[in-house]
Amino acid sequence: MSLSPVDLPNSYIGRAMPRPNLARLTQGRGEYVSDLSLPRMLHVVFLRSPYAHAEIASIDSSEAAKMPGVARIVTGRELAEICSPWVGVLSHLKGLKSAPQHALAVDRARWQGEPVVAILARSRAEAEDAAERIYVDYTELPPAVDAFAAATPGAVPIHADLGDNIAFERTLDAGDVEAAAAASDHVIAQRFVFGRHTGVTLEARSIVADWNRAAQRLTVHVGSQAPHMMQNIIAKHLAIEEHQVRVLTHDVGGSFGIKVHVYAEDMAVSALAKLMGRPVKFFADRLESFVSDIHARDHVVDGRIGVTRDGRITFFEIDDITGIGPYSVYPRTSAVEANQVVNLVGGNYAVPNYRARARVVFQNKTPTSQYRAVGHPIACSVTEGLVDLAAKAIGMDPVEFRRRNLYADDAYPCTAASGIRFEGLSHHASLDKLLAMMDLPKLRADQAAARVRGVHRGIGLASFIEITNPGPAFYGVGGARISSQDGAAVKLDATGCVTVQSSITEQGQGSAAIIAQVTASAIGVPIERVRVILGDTDNTPYGGGTWASRGAGIGGEAAFQAGRALRDNLLTVAAAILQSTPEHLDIRQGVVVDAADGRARLELSELARIAYFRPDTLPRDMQTELMATRHYVPRDYAFAFTNGIQASYLEVDTETGFIRLLNHWVVEDCGQPINPLLVDEQVRGGVVQGLGAALFEQCRYDDQGQMINANMADYLVPMAGEMPDIAVGHVITPTAESAIGAKGAGEAGTAGAAACVANAVNDALSPFGVVITEIPLTPEVVLQALGRV
C-alpha cells in the first residue's frame, strides 16, 4: 500500500528514511512524489499564465513530478475540491457583480500572472526548476485591455455568465446641474487621466501555513493588515470552523492597503498546508509581485465646473471610468475606489449642484482594488484641477478663488452634495497656515525672476478632505465579515507592568507605539513598562485591523477606554489597601499617589503582589479585577473626515521635460495628534507616495494585456534624492466622538500631493498656453504637451 504525506503520522514527516528512489504516487487526479527525506516545510511556487486571456486545454506535469525535491503538483481543478471559490461583491453597492474566482485558474486564465499550477518542493529553487518542466496547452483568446472598449455595448464579455463587462455603475444627481450650468458665466470641461500603479512594498507578500492534524488547527503567518478577516475567510473557504484557524500578522514590512485583501496565493497556501499536512511557505518575488499584487488608480475622468464672474462655483460634474481587471477583489471589492471618487469630488467646496457617473469595467489586466488613500488622489486631482482652471477662466487668483468657495470653518456640522457628512473641518484655518509657512509673495517674486532667465517654475495648491475612522456601516452593511470595531485588553501583571492586547496591526506606521502611549497615559504608568501584543487572533480581541486611517482613532480609543477602566479598578484596590477612597488617589509614573499633593503611597508592583498573592488581606467582598477589555466603534458619523491643504513649488525643464521638485508644504487637520513625530512622518511618507504617482509610477500594458515594465528597472519609484523638503503643519479640530479626539493621518499626504504638483506644472507652463491633466507627468507627457515630441 502506498502512503501520501497526508497519510503519514506527524512523527514520520521529515525523518530521513533509507529509500533508494523517490516513490511516485498517484492519488485521485493529482500526481506527486513522496520523499520522506524532504524537510517538514515545503515551498510553493506558482506557474502563472503568460497570456492575458486564454483557455487552459491541458496540463502535463509528469516530467516535473519526477524532478528532485518535488513533493506534489496541484492544478486548479484539484484545489477547487478543497478550497471553494469566492465572489467579491458587497450588497450595498447596488448592482455590483463579479464571477467566482478560484485559488488557481480552472479552465481559463484571465490575466497575465494569474496562478495556474502550484508546485510544492523542499526549496523554492527546486520548485522553480520543476515549474519549467510543466507544459500547459493554452488557446489564446482576444484580451479586453482598454476599459472604454470593454464597456462598449456588444463587447465580448470576459465572463459570459455576467452578460457584459460592466461590474458596477453608480450615478448621482444633486441639486440642479442644468440650471446651474445655464446660470454660469463660464463652463470649463477637461479630461483627467490617471496611470495605473501598485504598492511596491519593502517586504513582498508572504505566507506560511501549517495544519496540525492532532489539534485539527491551521496556523497561518501572513503579511496582512486584517488578521480576523483572514481567519474568517480561510475558515469559510476551507470548510472548517473559525476557531480552527489562528492567524498571526506580526511586523509587516509595509502594506499601503495592498495587503488588506485576500489573494489567490493566500487561499492556495492555506489549502495546500491542509492537504499536505505540512507547513507550506510562499514568498512572492518582485517580478511576480508586479503582476499579482493588486493595482489601483486606473481612471479616466471627464469633468466639468461652472463659475460666475464674481468667483462662485455653480456646479461640479464628472463621468469616471475605471478598469479593474477580470474580478472584483475579495472581500472589499474593486468598486470602492470609484465609489469614493463619486463621494469625494467637490466635497471641500460649498456647492449644492453635483452630478456624477462612475463605471467599473472588467478587463484582462491584473485586478485593482483599495490602495493607500482609496479614490482620494483622483477626486482631489479632478476637483483641484477644475478649480484652478475655473479661477484662470475668470482671471482670479487661485488662493482667493478657494477662499470664496471652501466651506466656512463655522459651517459645521454639514452635508456635502454627495451626501457625505462632516462633523468639523478647518479649510480656511489650514489655508491661512499654509500661506504663512510657504511665504507665497516671496515665491511669486522668485518665480518671476526665474522666468526672466528662461527658467519655468510653478506654484500649485490642492485642498483636500480625507476619510478616516470608518463607522459600523462601512463593510458589514454589505455582508462582508470585516469588523468596524477594534478592541483592547489591558492587564497589570504581578510585577506591576502592563500588557495590552490590541486588534489593530503594525505595518511600520507606529501602531504599537501609539497603543503603548495611549495605554500608558490612560493608566498613569511609564511607557517603557507597557508591552503591546498585536496581530494574533488567538491573543487579541476581535477587531478590524489597520486600514483606512483607523488605527489610532478607533484602536487607540479602545486602548484608552480599557486603560481607564483598569485604572479605575486599580484605584479601587489601592483605596482598600490604603484605607482611602478612589477619588483621593491618582496613578502617576506607575505609583499610586495622593491626588491632592502627589505624595507617593503605593507602588503598582506592591498592589499587584497583594491582589494576586495576598487577597486574604483585602475586604471579603472585594474581587480584584486587574484586567479590563473594551471595544470601540464610532456611532454618530459614517467617517471622521479630516482636511488639509498642500502646496508644491517646482521647476520644469521645457527642453527635456524633466520636473524638479523644489519645496512641498502640507497642513493637516487630523484631530488631536497623539504622537506628533509619527503623524508628521506618516504625512511625509504619504506625500512621497503621492509624488511617485504624480511623476514616476505607472503599470504599462501593451495591446495584448502584457505588463511591459514589471521590474524595478522599468517601473520607477520615488527615490530620496528626487524628493523635496516637506514641511508639515497642523490645525487641530478634535472629533467629539471619542475621548482622545483622534482622527486618522495615514493617507492625507497621498490624497493631495499629485493634485498640487499637477497644478504647479500647469502654472510653470502657463506662458506656453498648455494644460496637462494626465499623471504620471513623465518627460514624454510634458514634451508632448509642448509639441516637442
User: Distance between CA 101 and CA 305 in Å, rounded?
Assistant: 40
Contacts of 230 (CB under 8 A, 6+ apart): 220, 222, 224, 247, 249, 262, 266
* Strand 135-140 versus strand 54-60 pairing type: antiparallel
The helix-helix angle for 336-344 and 376-393 (nearest 10°) equals 30
Q: What is the pLDDT of residues 609-619, one digit of tens each?
A: 999 999 999 99
Strand 313-323 and strand 354-361: the pairing is parallel
The whole-angstrom separation of Cα 225 and Cα 250 is 9
- The residue with cell 478587463 is 363
Q: What is the CA angle 502-508-514, rounded to 5?
A: 45
Q: Which of the four pLDDT bands, split at 50, 70 and 90, describes residue 22?
A: very low
Can you read off the three cell numbers belonging to residue 394?
Answer: 475668470
Looking at residue 474, what is its pLDDT?
A: 81
Residue 87 grid cell: 465572489
pLDDT value of residue 76: 98
- Please work out, in degrees rounded to the nearest 5, the angle formed at the alpha carbon of residue 529 by the alpha carbons of 527 and 534: 80
Identify the band that residue 471 occupies on the pLDDT scale cut at 50, 70 and 90: confident
Q: What are the tens digits of pLDDT across the range 302-332?
A: 999 999 999 999 999 999 999 999 999 999 9
Contact 120/33 with Cβ under 8 angstroms? no
pLDDT beyond 60 at 762: yes
Which residue has cell 454660469? 184
**Dist. CA 573–CA 603, nearest whole Å:** 12
Q: What is the pLDDT of residue 39?
A: 75
Helix orientation angle between 748-764 and 676-695, rounded to the nearest 10 degrees: 50
How would you classify the pairing of strands 414-415 and 591-594?
Answer: unpaired
Span 141-193, pLDDT tens digits: 999 999 999 999 999 999 999 999 999 999 999 999 999 999 999 999 999 99
Q: What's the CATH superfamily of 33-141+204-252+258-292?
A: Aldehyde oxidase/xanthine dehydrogenase, a/b hammerhead (3.90.1170.50)
Confidence at residue 36, expressed as pLDDT on a 0 to 100 scale: 53
pLDDT tens-digit readout, 40-96 = 999 999 999 999 999 999 999 999 999 999 999 999 999 999 999 999 999 999 999
608 neighbors 587 (Cβ within 8 angstroms):
no
Domain ranges of the chain: 5-29+485-632, 33-141+204-252+258-292, 305-468+638-785
* pLDDT at site 789: 83
pLDDT value of residue 472: 80
Classify residue 17 as exposed, middle or buried by CB count within 10 Å of its CB (0-12, 13-18, 19+): exposed
What is the average pLDDT across 593-605? 98
For position 6, what pLDDT does the model report?
Answer: 33
- Grid cell of 780 as nine digits: 514624454
CB contact at 8 A, 582 and 571: yes
Identity of the amino acid at 180 = A
Q: How confident is the model at residue 636 (pLDDT cuts 50, 70, 90)?
A: confident
Across 555-580, average pLDDT: 98
Query: Binning pLDDT at 50, 70 and 90, where does residue 110 land?
Result: very high
Cα-flanking dihedrals φ and ψ of residue 405, to 5°? Answer: -125, -20
Give tens-digit pLDDT for 205-240.
Answer: 999 999 999 999 999 999 999 999 999 999 999 999
pLDDT above 90 (res 421): yes
- Is the pLDDT at 19 greater than 60? The verdict is no
DSSP state of 157: P
Quote the mean pLDDT of the chain.
Answer: 94
**Residue 74 near residue 120, CB atoms below 8 Å:** yes
Task: Write the burial class of residue 52 (CB in 10 Å: 0-12 exposed, 13-18 middle, 19+ buried).
Answer: buried
Among 3.30.365.10, 3.40.50.1220, 3.40.50.300, 3.10.560.10, name the CATH number for the domain at 305-468+638-785: 3.30.365.10
Say which residues have a Cβ less than 8 Å from residue 385's Cβ, sequence separation at least 6: 190, 192, 303, 755, 758, 759, 773
Report the percentage of the chain scoring pLDDT > 90: 93
Q: Which CATH class is domain 5-29+485-632?
A: alpha beta
**Please, what sign has the CA dihedral across residues 359, 361, 366, 370?**
positive
- Weakest mean pLDDT among 13-27, 253-267, 631-645: 13-27
The pLDDT, as a whole number, for residue 2 is 32
pLDDT value at residue 5 = 32
3-class DSSP state of 28: coil
The amino acid occupying position 213 is R
Q: Is the dihedral of CA 373, 379, 382, 387 positive or negative?
A: negative
In the chain the first and final C-alpha atoms are separated, in Å, by: 72
Radius of gyration of the chain, Cα coordinates, nearest whole angstrom = 29
CB 340 within 8 A of CB 347: no
**Alpha-carbon span 771 to 754, nearest angstrom:** 15
**Residue with cell string 481543478:** 77
Q: Does the global pTM surpass 0.85?
A: yes
Reported confidence tier of residue 14, pLDDT bands at 50, 70, 90:
very low
pLDDT at 377: 98
- Per-residue pLDDT, averaged over 567-588, amounts to 98
**Which tens digits make up the pLDDT trace of 682-724?**
999 999 999 999 999 999 999 999 999 999 999 999 999 999 9
Q: Which residues fall within 8 angstroms of residue 11, CB to CB, at 6 or more apart?
A: none
The pLDDT score that the predictor gives to residue 513 is: 97
Q: Residue-wise over 729-761: b if at least 16 C-beta within 10 A, else e?
A: bbbebbbebbbbbbbbbbbbbbbbbbbbbbbbb
User: Any bridge partners for residue 321, and if so which?
Assistant: 300, 359
Does the fold of domain 305-468+638-785 match that of domain 5-29+485-632?
yes
289 by DSSP, 3-state: which? helix
Q: Which three cell numbers stand for residue 145?
A: 485591455
The pLDDT value given to residue 35: 52
